Amino acid sequence: EIVLTQSPDTLSLSPGERATLSCRASESVTSSYLAWYQQKPGQAPRLLIYGASSRANGVPDRFSGSGSGTDFTLTISRLEPEDFAAYYCQQYAGSRMYSFGQGTKLEIK
Amino acid sequence: QVTLRESGPALVKPTQTLTLACTFSGFSLTTSGMCVSWIRQPPGKPLEWLARIDWDDDKFYNTSLKTRLTISKDTSKNQVVLTMTNMDPVDTATYYCARLIRGGYASGSTDAFDIWGQGTVVTVSS
């Protein structure tokens, strides 16, 4: 099973700043199968990025994804108040199993 | 508009079997590439993928829970059902169903969980 490790666990930033979230896989992941989700308290997760770098429908262009192999990054170029939430990366390696990272909580500084 | 809605008991006793239904609209599980998964989240913890069923009735399970899980579909009702046997307090969680469209099969494919239900809270306690 591929394990995804996200860092940091918590990121404290101010609105207007740039956020960089990391997701590292224990084995190489096909980029087509790497996604990022945003989850706010009491809500279901929302798909932000799929295929490592493609934005889902309706996602603002301040969100971008990059990376390949075992290292992937979600970048929020300029934080808006509504961006403070938990973020999860997720992979599918073709082994008939999916896994999620443990999450990064993005909080207001 | 695509929607999914989970339903099932809010409280189950230890050792009992949990049965959850995911009723969806706006797409068909007879369309090539369409899949539905179940994912859960214990309070304050990360997401955990449980199972997936595809348009062609192929089924995928979390290997650590495989012996306890069964996923099935009723295309006439637009419904996917998950059963989990031998429930334990550690299975207390919010259970979500979500759609996934396999890449290369249908319009809008992402190979990711693009639409989620609002979740249903299940507590396991005697």
pLDDT > 80? residue B17: yes
Q: Which residues pair with A35 in a beta bridge?
A: A90
B residues 82-101 near A, CB within 8 Å? 96
More confident residue, B96 or B106: B96
> In the structure, what pLDDT confidence band is assigned to residue B80 with cuts at 50, 70 and 90?
very high
What is the Cα–Cα distance from B17 to B117, expressed in whole angstroms?
Answer: 22
* A43 interaction partners in chain B (CB closer than 8 Å): 118
What is the Cα–Cα distance from A102 to B6, expressed in whole angstroms?
Answer: 24
Q: What is the pLDDT of residues A29-82, one digit of tens each?
A: 988 899 999 999 999 999 999 999 999 999 999 999 999 999 999 999 999 999
Q: Which residues pair with B97 in a beta bridge?
A: B38
CA of B112, closest CA in chain A: separation in Å?
6
Q: Do A47 and B48 touch (CB under 8 A)?
A: no
Tokens of B99: 């759609």
Q: Which residues pair with B60 in a beta bridge?
A: B52
> In the structure, what pLDDT confidence band is assigned to residue B106 with cuts at 50, 70 and 90?
confident
pLDDT of residue A31: 87
Tokens of B33: 């590439």
Read out DSSP for chain B? Answer: --EEEEE--SEE-TTPPEEEEEEEESS-TTSTTEEEEEEEE-TTS--EEEEEEETT--EEE-TTTGGGEEEEEETTTTEEEEEE-S--GGG-EEEEEEEEE-TTTSTT--SSEEEE---EEEEE--
Tokens of B29: 């599980």
